[in-house]
């Protein structure tokens, strides 16, 4: 990356959008559409997803562009099964794909291949901006990178889908940037804030089409930019991890390490006296939640997630978590989990989000280290199909995404939640 004293946000977006789009990138874009569509479907079946849909209807109406985008973002992001990019700490699918699905009916002039190109460019912008603000390191300082770049990304994606000229894309980006927020809120309203940011970005693209514009600076996002992201190398859409189960990514390494210990048959679960979890200092505090009182907390609690992995691994695929485990056996094992910040592991961050787990039983200690969650970097139809089957979802969603040749085919990826039953 190139460090600059003054960075033009619209210029950064323009440069990122110039990424060459290869046939392989379009293939990956189809997989990203399917993966995020799955997250939306499963999220729509949860209590929180239904509440988000009701709120979208009250705010925007169920059939409007804004109402659809709001509902899709809120449902997809709350699942913690949507994709995430480690180098930017951005969840791009939850921003780009709902924007595309909400507006794809207006994209006939560019065709299905044109829409796939927009998906590639949207990922490029979301991840490039996340890198440029130093997303992984800002998270602990109260900045949620996805929320910060969500509005600007949606503005650019919506503009491209609508066939906007470069000047109009720049105007929409600037308008969205002036309305961006950078908090890292706790609680289940996080997804509502991100949904609002995406709706705002889409609204900026539509506003510019109607002749509205704004002067002055580029707002919050530009203020947070530390660098101008490099444009060299393959498209960034190839990078994000595919989540194999329901969890904040920061806890997944520890869960995977514990699973490898248990799969070795070297320890019995009921004989475990202590589980020590070492993770990068940057997010150790985020994972150290010995008491869990909500679904959201359970997803990022090392104590809860590791205990699930040991006692009830099938529950790692329960997105709704309407009822949390509080029985005595479960609480007893949670109390034996300790989280430790590890400066040595921080040296790998953010290229890797590693974890070291040490399991102590009577007279023995077994240790496992994971740099990657198994399968997360395998962006392939086979890997994604296996993921959907693990969740009990229809695997034909992947095939339909891969064979879509028309705008109407892409629209059909947003299948009804009943079809997942």
Local structure of residue 269 (DSSP, 8 states): G
Residue 252 pLDDT: 98
- Strand locations in 281-397 (E): 337-342, 355-361, 364-370
Architecture of the domain whose range is 249-370: 2-Layer Sandwich (3.30)
The predicted model gives 168-174 an average pLDDT of 96
Listed in order, the ranges of the chain carrying CATH 1.10.4100.10 are 9-244+377-420
Cβ count within 10 A of residue 317 = 16
pTM of the model: 0.95
Q: Which of 49-63, 87-101, 178-192, 216-230 has the lowest mean pLDDT?
A: 216-230
Asked if the model's pLDDT at residue 392 lies above 50, the reply is yes
pLDDT per residue as tens digits for the range 5-35 = 468 999 999 999 999 999 999 999 999 999 9
Concatenate the DSSP letters of all residues of 196-222 into one string.
HHHHHHHHHHHHHHTT----S--HHHH
**What confidence score (pLDDT) does residue 393 get?**
83
- Strands 355-361 and 272-280 come out as antiparallel
Classify residue 291 by its DSSP letter: S
Whole-number pLDDT of residue 419: 43
pLDDT tens-place string over residues 84-124: 999 999 999 999 999 999 999 988 899 999 999 999 999 99
Stronger pLDDT, 417 or 206, i.e. the higher one = 206
The pLDDT of residue 36 is above 60: yes
Mean pLDDT computed over 186-197? 94
Selected residue with higher pLDDT from 135 and 392: 135
- Of 66-70, 125-129, 226-230, 400-404, which gets the smallest average pLDDT? 226-230
The answer to whether 101 and 68 have CB atoms below 8 angstroms apart is: yes
Q: In a 3-state reduction of DSSP, which class is residue 267?
A: coil
- At 421, the pLDDT band (50, 70, 90 cuts) reads very low
**CATH 3.30.1330.120 residue ranges for the chain:** 249-370
- Mean pLDDT over all residues of the chain? 94
- Encode pLDDT of 98-108 as tens digits: 999 999 998 88
Domain 9-244+377-420 bears CATH identifier 1.10.4100.10: yes
pLDDT at 389 over 60: yes
Neighbours of 6 (CB within 10 A): 6
- Write down the pLDDT at residue 216: 74
pLDDT computed for residue 231 by the predictor: 80
Q: Pull the structure tokens for residue 132.
A: 């440029």
Per-residue pLDDT band at 415 (split at 50, 70, 90)? low
Q: What's the confidence (pLDDT) of residue 214? A: 87
pLDDT at 219: 80
């Amino acid at each position: 990356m190139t460090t600059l004293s003054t960075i033009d946000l619209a210029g950064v977006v323009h440069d990122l959008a110039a990424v060459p789009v290869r046939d392989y990138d379009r293939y990956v874009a189809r997989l990203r559409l399917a993966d995020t569509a799955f997250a939306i479907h499963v999220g729509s079946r949860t209590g929180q997803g239904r509440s988000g849909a009701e709120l979208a209807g009250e705010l925007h109406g169920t059939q409007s562009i804004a109402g659809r985008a709001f509902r899709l973002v809120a449902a997809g992001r709350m699942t913690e099964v949507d994709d995430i990019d480690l180098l930017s700490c951005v969840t791009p699918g939850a921003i780009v794909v709902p924007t595309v699905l909400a507006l794809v009916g207006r994209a006939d002039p560019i065709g299905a291949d044109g829409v796939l190109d927009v998906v590639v460019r949207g990922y490029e912008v979301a991840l490039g901006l996340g890198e440029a603000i130093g997303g992984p390191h800002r998270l602990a300082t109260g900045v949620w990178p996805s929320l910060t770049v969500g509005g600007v990304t949606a503005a650019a994606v919506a503009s491209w889908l609508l066939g906007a000229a470069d000047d109009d894309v720049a105007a929409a980006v600037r308008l969205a940037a002036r309305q961006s927020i950078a908090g890292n809120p706790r609680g289940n309203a996080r997804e509502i804030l991100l949904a609002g940011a995406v709706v705002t970005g889409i609204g900026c693209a539509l506003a510019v089409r109607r002749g509205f514009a704004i002067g002055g600076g580029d707002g919050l996002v530009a203020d947070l930019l530390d660098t101008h992201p490099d444009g060299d190398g393959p498209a960034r859409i190839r990078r994000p991890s595919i989540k194999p189960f329901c969890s904040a990514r920061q806890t997944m390494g520890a869960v995977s390490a514990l699973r490898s210990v248990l799969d070795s048959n070297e320890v019995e679960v009921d004989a475990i006296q202590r589980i020590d979890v070492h993770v990068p200092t940057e997010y150790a505090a985020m994972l150290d939640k010995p008491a869990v009182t909500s679904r959201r907390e359970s997803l990022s609690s090392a104590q809860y997630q590791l205990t699930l992995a040991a006692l009830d691994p099938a529950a790692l695929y329960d997105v709704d978590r309407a009822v949390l485990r509080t029985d005595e056996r479960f609480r007893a094992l949670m109390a034996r989990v300790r989280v430790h910040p590890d400066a040595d592991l921080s040296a790998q961050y953010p290229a890797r989000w590693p974890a070291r787990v040490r399991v102590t039983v009577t007279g023995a200690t077994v240790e496992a280290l994971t740099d990657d969650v198994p399968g997360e970097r395998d962006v392939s139809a086979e890997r994604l199909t296996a993921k959907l089957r693990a969740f009990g979802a229809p695997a034909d969603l992947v095939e339909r995404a891969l064979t879509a040749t028309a705008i109407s085919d892409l629209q059909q990826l947003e299948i009804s939640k009943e079809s997942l039953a």
